[in-house]
Chain A
Amino acid sequence: GQNIDQPTEMTATEGAIVQINCTYQTSGFNGLFWYQQHAGEAPTFLSYNVLDGLEEKGRFSSFLSRSKGYSYLLLKELQMKDSASYLCAVKGNNRLAFGKGNQVVVIP
Chain B
Amino acid sequence: DTEVTQTPKHLVMGMTNKKSLKCEQHMGHRAMYWYKQKAKKPPELMFVYSYEKLSINESVPSRFSPECPNSSLLNLHLHALQPEDSALYLCASSQGTGDIYGYTFGSGTRLTVV
User: Taking A41-B107, A42-B90, A42-B108 as contacts, is the C-beta distance between A95 and B102 under 8 angstroms?
Assistant: no
User: Please, which residues of chain B bring their CB within 8 A of the CB of A43?
Assistant: 43, 90, 105
Indicate which residue in B40, B42, B50, B99 contacts A91 across the interface (CB closer than 8 Å): B99
Scoring A residues 89 to 104 as 1 if CB is less than 8 Å from chain B, else 0, what string do you get?
Answer: 0011011111111000
24 A-B pairs in the complex with CB atoms less than 8 angstroms apart: A31-B99, A35-B105, A40-B88, A40-B110, A42-B90, A42-B108, A43-B105, A45-B104, A48-B102, A50-B100, A92-B99, A94-B55, A94-B56, A94-B99, A95-B45, A96-B33, A96-B45, A96-B92, A96-B103, A97-B45, A98-B42, A100-B42, A101-B40, A101-B42
B43 close to A94 (CB less than 8 A): no
What count of chain B residues pass the 8 Å CB interface test?
A: 27
- Flag whether A63 is at the interface (Cβ < 8 A): no
A interface residue numbers (CB < 8 A to B): 30-31, 33, 35, 40-45, 48, 50, 87, 91-92, 94-101
Indicate which residue in A31, A42, A87, A97 contacts B100 across the interface (CB closer than 8 Å): A31
B interface residue numbers (CB < 8 A to A): 4, 33, 40-45, 48, 50, 55-56, 88, 90, 92, 97-100, 102-108, 110
